Amino acid sequence: MGWIHETDTHLHEAALVAVFEDGAESHASTMVDGADYEIVERGRTSSEDRLRPSTEIVGWLLRCHCGRSNSSDGSSWTDPVQWTRVPSASLEDLARHRVFAPDADLDVGVRAEVAAAATAVWRREHLDPLDVDGEIRAAVTARRDADAQLDAAVAKARRLGRSWAEIGAATGMTRQAANERWKDRT
């Protein structure tokens, strides 16, 4: 189970990726003879996949696959703090990335409280810094548009015979400041 964040230009897909003590990572889960396994290496066919018992999971990495909406180019982001599997519910502390997961229920991403904690980290550490860049670009565009609209209004005011004192008063500046800003544009 994962989470998606989509903008006009980018697609972000995040999930908790199971990891093992030796650093091997799960690519997917499967079931063999009623037991859960993690695919840690893909073979040419499913019968050639390298499997590890899901019960050997020691933690999870919060990872995001990032891409442009109109491109096959992509990158990934991984939270530097591993989410650690703890042996009892009393040791679970999601704020410190400690997750209790019994052997029978290792798909921790579907637990609402784990999903909420992980998505909060993902948003705070990965998406918010990206979104703020978009907010800045949007504000720059809005300011550029507003400046163009103001320039056009001042030019119109001058064509209608308004004085620099009247334009200055309307724009919250002195007559001299208005004249210096727009004299060459009107």
Rounded distance between C-alpha atoms, residue 104 and residue 55, angstroms: 8
**144-164: b (≥16 Cβ within 10 Å) or e:** eeeeeeeeeebeebbeeebeb
pLDDT 10s digits, 113-135? 999 999 999 999 998 877 777 78
pLDDT 10s digits, 173-186? 999 999 999 998 87
pLDDT band for 21, please (50, 70, 90 cuts): very high
Q: In this predicted structure, what is the pLDDT of residue 1?
A: 61
Partners of 13 in beta bridges: 4, 65
**What percent of the chain is predicted at pLDDT more than 90?**
73
Residue at token pair 């697609």: 11
Rounded distance between C-alpha atoms, residue 55 and residue 57, angstroms: 6
For strands 74-78 and 98-100, give the pairing. Answer: unpaired
Taking a C-beta distance cutoff of 8 angstroms, is the pair 26, 56 a contact? Answer: no
**What percent of the chain is predicted at pLDDT more than 70?**
99
Q: In this predicted structure, what is the pLDDT of residue 60?
A: 96
What's the rounded mean pLDDT across residues 147-159? 93
Rounded distance between C-alpha atoms, residue 101 and residue 18, angstroms: 12
Q: Is the pLDDT of residue 80 over 80?
A: yes
Q: Is the pLDDT of residue 69 over 80?
A: no
Q: In this predicted structure, what is the pLDDT of residue 40?
A: 95
